[in-house]
Structure 1
C-alpha cells in the first residue's frame, strides 16, 4: 500500500460510529475547558413551562425520543404539525427539543413520555464518571465540538453519508417498498461508495462489528437481553458489501498483532434487541439501552489499536450517527449539498441537503495529537470519506466531501507521544429508567408486525439481501426456512428466527472460506 500524502503520517484509519446522542447530551456537563456547550441557563419552553438543561441524564430512556425528519424540524425550529416542502429549511433556534419529545410517537413504543420525563431530553451525562472511556479520549486527545450529523434526520441517511458523502436522496428512514429493490443489488450511490473507491485504488479495507458467534453482543453488560437482529450491520445494506464481509471484534486485537494491510477499518456496534424494540443488550448506546456496552466496546477498540504495532501511524475517529432527539445548543448551519442528483425517488420531504444535522459527539485519537485539544473546525460525516481521499489521493464522491474539512491538521506533533495504555470503563451498578419488559408484554410485542420503516425493517431488508448472496454461493435456505422467510416480513418473532437462520449460514460460509484459504496456503 502506498500512502499518497506524506505530510500526514497515517497508514491506518479506524472509524467507530455509535448511536443517537447529541454533543451536549454527552459533553455539556463534562467540565472540559474550551468547548462550546450548553449551560444550565439554556432551556426549551412548553406552554410557559421552562425545561432547563441539567445534569443527571438517565443511563437509558423510558421512551425513544423522535428523530425522524419531521421531529428534527420541530426540535430545531419549534415548528410542529404537517410539513410542506421545506426547502429552504425554516429558521433555526433549537427551541423545540422538549416540545417534540413531549408528543413524540414516531419511534417505538409509539407513546409519549410521562410529563415528568420530558426533562430527560434536556439532561446531560456526568461524563467523567458515567462515560469515562469517551471522557478520557476527549481529554487525552482531541474533542471535536463542531461535528454535525450530515442531515437533520434519522440514523439511516446519516450512516449512508459516512460511506458515500450522500444518502442518495433519503431524508427519512427507508420504507419497506424503498428497500425492496436492495435484495439483489443493495443500496447504491450515484457515484459509488468510499469502499468502492478504495477497492478501485487497490487499498484494502476491513469492517468489524460487535457480535459473538451466537449473534449477541460481546460487550453489553446484559447481552442475553439482546437479539440476533442486533448483529445485522447497516453497512451491509450497501451494494458491494455483505454480511459475509463482516469480522467479529472478538478477533480485532489479535488481528492487529499480525500483518494488517487494511488502510481503512470501519466498526459497527451491536444494536441490541431489535425484535422487541427495546434495544437492550447492545453496544450502540441507543438511548433505550444503557451506555455500558458502548463504553466497554470503545475501551476494547482503543486498547487493541493502542497496543498494536500500528499505533504510531493510526488515527481513530469515534463519532455518533445523529443526535437521537436530545437537546443541543449549537445551531446547525448551511452546508454543501452532495449534488449527485440521485433519481431513485427516495426524497420524501423535498429537503435540499443544504442544512447540516444536529451536532454530535466526536473525538479524534492519535499519539500525534496534543492532549487536551479542542477542535472547533466544522465537520460532518462526509469528513470521513474526505479524510481517506486526502490520504490516498482519491477523487471525491460528491460535492459534499469535496468541500468537507478533515481532521488531519490535528496531527500536530512531530513524533508520537506516550499515551494511556488502556481506558477506564464504568462499573454497571446504576441502571436506566426503563423497566424490563414483562413476559406477557414482550410476547405481545413479538407477535406484532414488523414496522414499515426503521431499524427492524432495515435489518430485515439486509437479511433478505444476505440470503440472496448466500444462495448465489450455494447455501440456500432449508425447506422449513422458506416459509419462515415469508413470515419474517410479517411478525417480529419470525424476523428474529429468520435472522438466526441467515446468520447460521453466514457462519458456515465463513468456515468454508477459511478452510479454502488454508488449503490454498493464502492468508
Structure 2
C-alpha cells in the first residue's frame, strides 16, 4: 500500500480504482514552504451532490434516506410531490425542450437529470437557472434540515436534480479520482456568486454606507425579526405546488446596508455603463446597483505587504474592457463575461489608473488563452486566481456543465506540464451551490455563512492520491492555506468565522493541509 495512505481503509466500491478514503489530518510532519505556487480555479454554481453524489468513498447520495431527502411545503407539511419545474427544465432556446408540463408529479426525492429513463438531459445541455440568493439560501437550509429547497425556490423541483456523472462523461471526475476530493467543503457565504467571490478574496461582506438615503434604498430587503428569513408577501402562493414564492422585498442589501446579492463593480468592466459624459473607466454611481468602492482589507493587500507575487486572471477580461458587447449575453453566448465574478474590481486600492491594478488584475484571455500562456511559460505568480468566462464556468441558466468541466480539465493538463508544477498546489472549487440541494447540513457559523456544501478538488504533486478528504472546509479555507503558506496576518473574517463555529459547538475550519503529504 502507498505509504501516503496508511491511515486509510480500502473501500469495496473503490477497489477497482485503488482509491481510499479517510478524514482528519494524517499527513506527516511537513514543510509547507516547499509549495511555491498556489493556483485557485473558481467555477460556478454546483452543489456537491449535484455533481459528485455518486463519487466512491464520498459522503454522497448513498447516505440519503427517503425521510432525510423529502422536501417540506412552506407551512411545514410534507409535499406530496415535488413542484413542477417552473418554465421547464431546460434554458430558453435550448433543445431538447423539457417543458413545465413534462415535469409534473415528480416524486418527492432526489432525481437524476441525465437519467435515460427520465429527462435524459445530459451534461452538455443547459438547464434553467435557480434561485441562489442570500436569504433564500438560509430559508432553504432551514436550520440545517435542508428540507425547504423546493419551498423557497423559483425553479420548483429542479433543486433536487443531480447528475450520475460517470467518469467517462465528466473530465474533472477522473482528476478527482487521481488526487483529492474534499467532500465536506462548504460555500463561504449564503447565497450567490457576488457575495461568495467577496468571501474568496477578503472573508468579508461588502457595505453600502447610508443606503437608506441613496439611490439604492429600494434594494433594502424586508426581513423577519429572526434576521435570516424574508417577509412573505400577502399575495404569495401558500404552497410550493401552486407557484413561486413572493416576498415584500428580496433586495440586494440587508436592513443594515450590507450588500449580499448581486451588485455591480464601481469600475469598468461593470454591468453598469459609465455615466453620460462621465469617466469612461467608472460605472455610473447614480444606478442603484453600482456598489461604492470598498475599502476592507483583502488577501491581495496582505500578499503585497509580504512581497508575495499574485494576480487575478479574469477570462475575457481584456475583451470586456474593449467592448461592452461581450458583457453578459444570451444562453450559450460567447464569452458571456460576468462582471460580478471579478471581486477585486470592487476595491478602491485597485481602482483604474493604479499601479496595483495594472500589476494584479490581468486578462486571462478569451478561452483562458493568456492564462495558459503564463502556465506554459512557467511565469505564474506565487498566488494565481483564475475565473473562467461565463460560457465556461458551469453556471446553470446560461451554460452547461460539460463545456466548463472540459475547460478546467484542459487547464489542469497545462498546469501538470508547466515548469512550475512540481511545487504547485491547485484548488478547483465552485463559488456556490447555484440553488441545488445537498443533503449535508452546513456547520452553524456566523451571520454570513457557511452555506451549502460544494465540490472541491486539491490537485498537486503533494496531494494525497485517490483520497477523499472529510475535513471540514469552506471557501475561506483557501485563504487559510495561502495565509499559512506565506506566513501572512489573519484576515479578521477568518477569526470571526472560527469563533462563531466554536461558539455554536463546532470546530474551526481546516486549511487544506489535510489533503497534502510533503513526505514524497
TM-score by length of 2: 0.61
State the partner residue of 2:463. Answer: 369
Query: How far off its partner does 1:414 sit?
Result: 2.1
State the partner residue of 1:35. Answer: 59
Correspondence list, 1:76-225, <5 A: 76-77=141-142, 91-101=143-153, 104=154, 113=155, 118-129=156-167, 132-168=170-206, 170=258, 172-175=260-263, 180=285, 186-189=293-296, 192-211=297-316, 214=319, 225=333
Query: How far off its partner does 1:251 sit?
Result: 2.6
Between the aligned partners of 2:259 and 2:443, the Cα distance in structure 1 is: 17
Unpaired segments ≥5 residues, structure 1: 78-90, 105-112, 272-281, 338-351, 416-523
State the partner residue of 2:71. Answer: 44
State the partner residue of 2:40. Answer: 15
State the partner residue of 1:406. Answer: 511
Correspondence list, 1:286-365, <5 A: 286-288=395-397, 289-335=399-445, 337=446, 352-353=447-448, 355-365=449-459
- Alpha carbons of 1:412 and 1:366: their partners in 2 closer, same or farther (altered >3 Å)? same
Does 1:238 find its partner at 2:265? no
Between the aligned partners of 1:199 and 1:313, the Cα distance in structure 2 is: 21
Q: Deviations over 1:425-447 (max 9, x none)?
A: xxxxxxxxxxxxxxxxxxxxxxx
State the partner residue of 1:69. Answer: 134
TM-score by length of 1: 0.61
Does 1:265 find its partner at 2:384? yes
Q: Deviations over 1:241-265 (max 9, x none)?
A: 3675222220333323435261100
Match of 2:370 among 245, 248, 251: 251
Between the aligned partners of 1:407 and 1:395, the Cα distance in structure 2 is: 18
- Count of equivalent residues: 352
Between the aligned partners of 1:371 and 1:69, the Cα distance in structure 2 is: 36
Superposed structure 1 runs of 4+ greater than 4 Å apart: 174-179, 181-185, 212-218
Contact map agreement 1:153 1:171 (CA 8 A) in 2: no
Higher helix share: 1
Query: How far off its partner does 1:300 sit?
Result: 2.4
Between the aligned partners of 1:259 and 1:315, the Cα distance in structure 2 is: 14
Contact map agreement 2:264 2:290 (CA 8 A) in 1: no
Does 1:54 find its partner at 2:78? no
Query: How far off its partner does 1:210 sit?
Result: 2.2
Unpaired segments ≥5 residues, structure 2: 1-29, 74-78, 82-106, 115-120, 208-257, 267-282, 499-508
Between the aligned partners of 2:450 and 2:307, the Cα distance in structure 1 is: 32
State the partner residue of 2:89. Answer: none
Q: Deviations over 1:350-382 (max 9, x none)?
A: xx33x4211111111112222221111111111
Q: Deviations over 1:29-88 (max 9, x none)?
A: 33x2243445473332443225211223444565321111232133111xxxxxxxxxxx
Contact map agreement 2:52 2:60 (CA 8 A) in 1: no
Between the aligned partners of 2:388 and 2:264, the Cα distance in structure 1 is: 23
**Larger deviation: 20-29 or 228-237?**
228-237
Q: Deviations over 1:108-146 (max 9, x none)?
A: xxxxx5xxxx44321211222575222012111111111
Match of 2:513, SS state, is: helix
Match of 1:100, SS state, is: coil
Query: How far off its partner does 1:233 sit?
Result: 4.7
- Alpha carbons of 1:310 and 1:175: their partners in 2 closer, same or farther (altered >3 Å)? closer
Does 1:384 find its partner at 2:478? yes
Between the aligned partners of 2:264 and 2:421, the Cα distance in structure 1 is: 42
- Alpha carbons of 1:407 and 1:96: their partners in 2 closer, same or farther (altered >3 Å)? same
Match of 1:99, SS state, is: coil
Contact map agreement 2:196 2:432 (CA 8 A) in 1: yes
Q: Deviations over 1:288-309 (max 9, x none)?
A: 1211331132022201210011
Query: How far off its partner does 1:22 sit?
Result: 0.7
Between the aligned partners of 1:224 and 1:55, the Cα distance in structure 2 is: 23
Q: What's the Cα RMSD here?
A: 3.2
Between the aligned partners of 1:212 and 1:322, the Cα distance in structure 2 is: 22
Contact map agreement 1:252 1:304 (CA 8 A) in 2: no
Match of 2:474, SS state, is: coil
